Structure 1
Amino acid sequence: MSLSIIKPGLLDTIQDMGRYGYSSWGINPGGVMDGYAARVANMLVGNDPGEAVMEIHFPGAHILFEQNALISITGADFTPTLNEDEPVSTWRPIVVRRNTLLHFPKWQSGSRCYLAVHGGFCVPRWLNSYSTNLKAGAGGFHGRKLDKGDELPFKENSIYFAGLLKETREYQPLNWRVDTGRTYHLPHEILFTIGNEWPQLTHSSQRDMLENNFTIHPFSDRMGYQLRGVPLKRQHTTELVSSGVSFGTIQLLPDGQLILLMADHQTTGGYPRIGHVISSQLPKLAQLRPSDSIQFSMVDMPTAEELLFSQEHELNIIQRACYDHLNQLVC
Structure 2
Amino acid sequence: MIKVINGGIEILVEDWPGRLGYMGLGMAAAGAMDNLALQLGNMIVGNEAGEAGLEIAGGYCQFEIVEDGIIAITGSDMSPTINDEEVSMWIAMAVQTGDILKFSHFGETGFRSYICISGGIDVPEYLGSKSTCLFGSYGGFEGRKLAKDDIISAAKKACSGIAGKKLNPKYIPEYTNLWELRAIPGPNSVPDYVTEKGMDYLFSTPMKISHNANRAAYRLGEVPDFFWAREDGGKGGSHPSNIVDHGYNMRGAINVTGNTPSILIADGPTLGGFVCVANVINADLWKIGQGIPARDKVVFKLVTVEEAIEARKERSAMFEANDLLI
Please report the TM-score for the alignment, with normalisation by the length of structure 2: 0.89
Question: Percent of counterpart pairs with the same letter?
Answer: 28
- Contact preservation (8 Å) 2:167, 2:324: no
Q: Find the partner of 1:247 among 251, 257, 262.
A: 251
Cα drift, residue 175 of structure 1: 4.8
The 3-state SS of whatever aligns with 1:104 is: strand
CA distance, structure 2, for counterparts of residue 195 and residue 280 of structure 1: 18
Give 1:203 deviation, angstroms: 2.7
1:288 is aligned to 291
1:12-91 mapped onto 2 (5 Å cutoff) = 12-17=11-16, 18-84=18-84, 86-91=85-90
Q: 1:185 to 1:217 in 2, by over 3 A?
A: closer
1:309 and 2:284 are equivalent in the alignment:
no
Give the deviation of 1:134 after TM superposition: 1.9
1:217 to 201, 205, 210: 210
Cα deviation, residue 313, structure 1: 0.4
Q: Which residue of 1 aligns with 2:129?
A: 129
Whether contact under 8 Å (2:134, 2:267) holds in the other structure is no
Q: 2:208 is matched by which residue type in structure 1?
A: T
Partners of 2:92 and 2:215 lie apart in 1 by 27
The amino acid that maps onto 2:29 is: P
Residue from 290, 297, 304 that aligns with 2:301: 297
Confirm or deny: 8 A CA contact 1:212 1:230 kept in the other structure. no
Give the drift of 1:11.
0.5
Is 1:261 the counterpart of 2:264 in the alignment?
yes
Opposite residue 203 of structure 1, the aligned amino acid is: E
After superposition, give the CA deviation of every residue in 1:287-310 in whole Å (9 maximum; x if it has no partner).
111121111110111111111111
> What residue in structure 1 maps to residue 229 of structure 2?
235
- Residue 101 (structure 2) aligns with: 102
Offset at residue 321 of structure 1 (A): 5.0
Q: Is the 8 A contact 1:131 1:139 kept in 2?
A: yes
Structure 1 position 207, deviation (Å): 2.2
Distance (Å, rounded) in 2 between the aligned partners of 1:23 and 1:275: 19
Q: In 2, are the aligned partners of 1:183 and 1:311 still within 8 Å (CA)?
A: no
**Displacement, 1:285?**
2.0
Give the Å deviation of 1:142: 1.2
User: In structure 1, how many angstroms separate the alpha carbons of the residues matched to 2:170 and 2:150?
Assistant: 32
Check the 8 A contact 1:184/1:284 in 2, yes or no.
Answer: no
Q: How large is the RMSD of aligned CA atoms in angstroms?
A: 2.0
1:111-167 Cα offsets, whole Å, 9 max, x none, are 111101110111111111111122322211111111111111111121258xx9xxx
1:167 matched residue in structure 2: none
Q: List runs of 5+ in structure 1 lacking aligned partners.
A: 165-172, 326-331
Matched-pair contact (CA < 8 Å) for 1:209–1:296: yes
Partner of 2:158: 158
Distance 1:182 1:195, change over 3 A: farther
TM-superposed CA distance for 1:184, in Å, is 3.4
Which amino acid is the alignment partner of residue 168 of structure 2? Answer: V
The residue matched to 1:77 in structure 2 has which SS? Answer: coil
2:186 corresponding residue in structure 1 = 195
Match of 2:9 in 1: 10
Structure 1's consecutive aligned runs of 4 or more residues displaced over 4 angstroms after TM superposition are 180-183
Aligned match for 2:169, one of 176, 179, 187: 179
- Give how far 1:16 is off: 0.8
Indicate conservation of the 8 Å contact 1:30/1:263, yes or no: yes
- The structural deviation recorded for 1:179 is 3.0
Q: In the alignment, what sits opposite 2:239?
A: none
Per-residue Cα deviation, 1:17-66 (whole angstroms, up to 9, x for no partner): 11111112211111111111111111110111121110001224211111
| CA deviation after TM superposition for structure 1 residue 177, in Å | 2.4
C-alpha displacement of 1:249: 0.4
1:206 to 185, 194, 199: 199
Which residue number in structure 2 is paired with residue 329 of structure 1? none
Cα–Cα, structure 1 residues 47 and 277, in superposed 2: closer, same or farther, change >3 Å?
same
What residue in structure 2 maps to residue 169 of structure 1? none
Ranges in structure 2 where 5+ consecutive residues have no aligned partner? 237-242
